[in-house]
Structure 1
Amino acid sequence: MTPAARVQAAIELLAEIIAAARGGGAAADTLIARYFRTRRYAGSKDRRAVRDLIFRAIRRAGEVPASGRAAMLGLAREDPALLDLFDGSPHGPAAPSPDEEAAPAGLAPAWLLDRFDPLIGPEALSALLERAPLDLRVNRLKGSRETALAELPEAAPTPHSSLGLRMPEGTRVETLPAWETGLVEVQDEGSQLICLAAGARPGGLVVDLCAGAGGKTLALAAEMGGQGRILACDADRGRLGRMSPRLERAGVTIVESRLLDPGRERAALADLAGAADLVLVDAPCSGTGTWRRNPETRWRTTPRRLEQLTALQARLLGIGAELVGPGGHLVYAVCSLLAEEGREQAQGLERRSSLVPEPLIMAAGRAAGSGWLLSPDHDGTDGFFVARWRRP
């Protein structure tokens, strides 16, 4: 592909990504992979170059661009060399007119900016648009961090998690023997810290209420030393189904999965009421803390969607609280830095529940009300809010 053809491909893909963001379609990475599966003429350098153009354009545009061309023009008008590729050549984009619309630069949609936690300032928002590192978690069931470092000489220990490894950008993790044997699993350092702070103990009964594909379930099982019982729940059959091969590779045998019917979770979990030693509610959220990985999610969040998410979070917290037995704990986590999904949810639970806030033992982060906030500028992790309560 010529340089101009790469720009045109980026414009076409940006148009698809914008449409998907507006309509709840597939993520940018998925759309890019689909695009190149039908264009075998594009080599690996072409794919990397196009992908880089796309994510540069996404990261600089806070509001949803009017079109893929407007998104790329916004980037090109800051880069004369890129603007020169709008030359009307075969397979390249047409030259822009002087008054043609270009997407303005910004951090996020304007309505969203004042919804962030008070601890989050401009530096944190800027850091949310940087590239995320590639972190691995060492599986205690298979070995130690020292064992993993010996197998992965290119890895470096993460600064906060005692189980974390940071890999060079572009590492193909699934080709590593340490991954194939289950010694390591991909997990952001922030997620690792949440699992370490949750306090799962060998022999306990743990409910992972929003388990998804099992990232935190695996980490909790390792903290339990493979002893006890974990019930991994989710309302998405497909996500739960992806957990089985991960459990097998990690050597985890104490996990049972349970598919929940939205709106009927209490009935499905009635046998566990007041019995759990630990309940983790890793609730669905806006994902504002993961913009480093998926910057186009800024365009997906709407006031209506946020309202729906906060209502769901409050309901799931209530369900989780009912499952906690005497002396047991409830842990709430969201990969969001919005106040209404974090500290305000914690405050709401404390007004309507007899659970007692309990300080978290965290190797990073900042206190945020009765919870804890992790952010990329302060901690080098994805953005999270996490809080913990105890049943007297």
Structure 2
Amino acid sequence: MTPAARVQSAIKILDTIIDRAGNKGAPADRVVSDWARANRYAGSKDRRAIRELVYGAIRACGPIPETGRAAMLRLVEGQPALAELFDGSTYGPPAIGRNEAAALGGVAAPWVIRHLGKSWISGDEAEALLDRAPLDIRVNSLKVSRDTLEVPETGEKLLAPDALRYPSGTQVEQWPAFRDGRIEVQDHGSQWACRAVAARPGETVIDLCAGAGGKTLALAAAMDNRGVLIASDTDRNRLSRLRPRAEKAGASMIERILLDPGKELAPLSQYRGKADAVLVDAPCSGTGTWRRNPEARWRLDKPELLKFSETQANLIRIAAQLVKPGGRIIYVTCSLLNEEGSDRIAAFLTVHKDWTATPLDLPIGRPHGVEGAQGTRLTPFHDGTDGFFIAQLTLRQ
């Protein structure tokens, strides 16, 4: 493919991404993958170049653009050399019109910017949300230690004891260590969210929103495969992915429980009041993951944010019924909006007087939230991780 043809292909892909984002359809990575499968003539170099153009344009735009061409013109403003590829050639984009407008730039739509500002995310903190994220891995301590791990490339040792960092795009999925479960891809901040649970061998721990089980696997390693570890979720498809991952990782103590939306407590009734810890890795807007999913900014709307907040409040209430006296809830969101973080903790404590917010002893992040309802916040700018809010709630004995 010619460079101009790559630009035109990127524009077409962006048109599809914009349409899907507006209709809550397939995410950007799936759109890009679908295009690659449907256009086998594009070689590996072409696909990489087109992907870079697509995600470069997404990061360059703030609010959702009207068209893929407008999004690409926004990228041109930061990379003027691309303008020469709008040459009207057979497979290239038409020349740029004299008064043709580019999409708007910025971090996000104005209403989202206002919410971030109210949550103390602005300036450099906000800009860092759109940086490219590195690739972090967690060494699976059930099989090997970080010091004895053998992999093709030497990674940077991070603060978490099992964490290594590599440049974005490192093909760790092709390494034998990944295929045999010695390593898992997991952001450094996510690893600290798991360590905040302080799961110990012999405890009863519930991962209430386990999804495909990335955090569950980290909990199994922390518990050294001893105790009771429940992975539950309402999404059958995502939860089903945990079985082969657990087998590969040697995590033999995990029990999977599918939950019925609206009746989540019924399948967990035998654990009511018995859990030492419940991890609530709640569904959220994902504002802390924009480095990896910049197109998520275009999908968020006010009704959806309100729905997330209601879901998060409900999940904390469910978790509270599972914890035994002296036990703990670790509440985690990969969001930097107070509505999904510190506000949820404060609202819960206002009603549930037998619970307290217990400070987390983490060597990373900063305290965040009102006095008496504080948690820990991690941000890309300050901590070099995805954005997280992590709080610990303890039931008085």
Q: Decide: shared fold, TM above 0.5.
A: yes
TM-score, normalised with respect to structure 2 = 0.96
Q: Does residue 113 in structure 1 map to residue 148 in structure 2?
A: no
SS of equivalent to 2:86: coil
CA distance in 1, matches of 2:46, 2:391: 44
Structure 2 match to 1:39 = 39
Structure 1 match to 2:59 = 59
SS of equivalent to 1:331: strand
How far off its partner does 1:153 sit? Answer: 4.3
Structure 2 match to 1:21 = 21
How far off its partner does 1:35 sit? Answer: 0.3
Larger CA deviation: 288-297 vs 263-272: 263-272
CA distance in 2, matches of 1:357, 1:327: 12
Q: How does 1:319-330 map to 2 (within 5 A)?
A: 319-330=318-329
Residues 1:57 and 1:143: Cα distance change in structure 2 (over 3 Å): same
Matched residue type, 2:383:
D
Q: Does residue 389 in structure 1 map to residue 388 in structure 2?
A: no
Unaligned runs of 5+ in 1: none
Q: How does 1:1-392 map to 2 (within 5 A)?
A: 1-116=1-116, 118-148=119-149, 150-158=150-158, 160-353=159-352, 354-369=354-369, 370-392=374-396
TM-score, normalised with respect to structure 1 = 0.97
8 Å contact from structure 1 (residues 119, 368) kept in 2: no
C-alpha RMSD of the superposition: 1.2
Matched residue type, 2:33:
A
CA distance in 1, matches of 2:79, 2:331: 43
CA distance in 1, matches of 2:167, 2:93: 34
CA distance in 2, matches of 1:263, 1:101: 47
8 Å contact from structure 2 (residues 151, 175) kept in 1: no
Residues 1:167 and 1:77: Cα distance change in structure 2 (over 3 Å): closer
> How far does the alpha carbon of each residue in 1:74-118 deviate from its partner, in whole angstroms, 9 at most, with x for none?
212333321111111101111122222310111111001121264
SS of equivalent to 1:91: coil
> How far does the alpha carbon of each residue in 1:154-180 deviate from its partner, in whole angstroms, 9 at most, with x for none?
21212x211101123322212212112
SS of equivalent to 1:386: strand
CA distance in 1, matches of 2:154, 2:90: 43
CA distance in 1, matches of 2:386, 2:155: 19
> How far does the alpha carbon of each residue in 1:190-212 deviate from its partner, in whole angstroms, 9 at most, with x for none?
00011112111101111111000
CA distance in 2, matches of 1:152, 1:328: 42
Q: Which 4+ stretches in 1 moved above 4 angstroms? A: none
CA distance in 2, matches of 1:144, 1:298: 37
SS of equivalent to 1:385: strand
How far off its partner does 1:33 sit? Answer: 0.9
Unaligned runs of 5+ in 2: none
SS of equivalent to 1:146: coil
8 Å contact from structure 2 (residues 133, 168) kept in 1: no
How far off its partner does 1:136 sit? Answer: 0.4
8 Å contact from structure 1 (residues 7, 85) kept in 2: yes
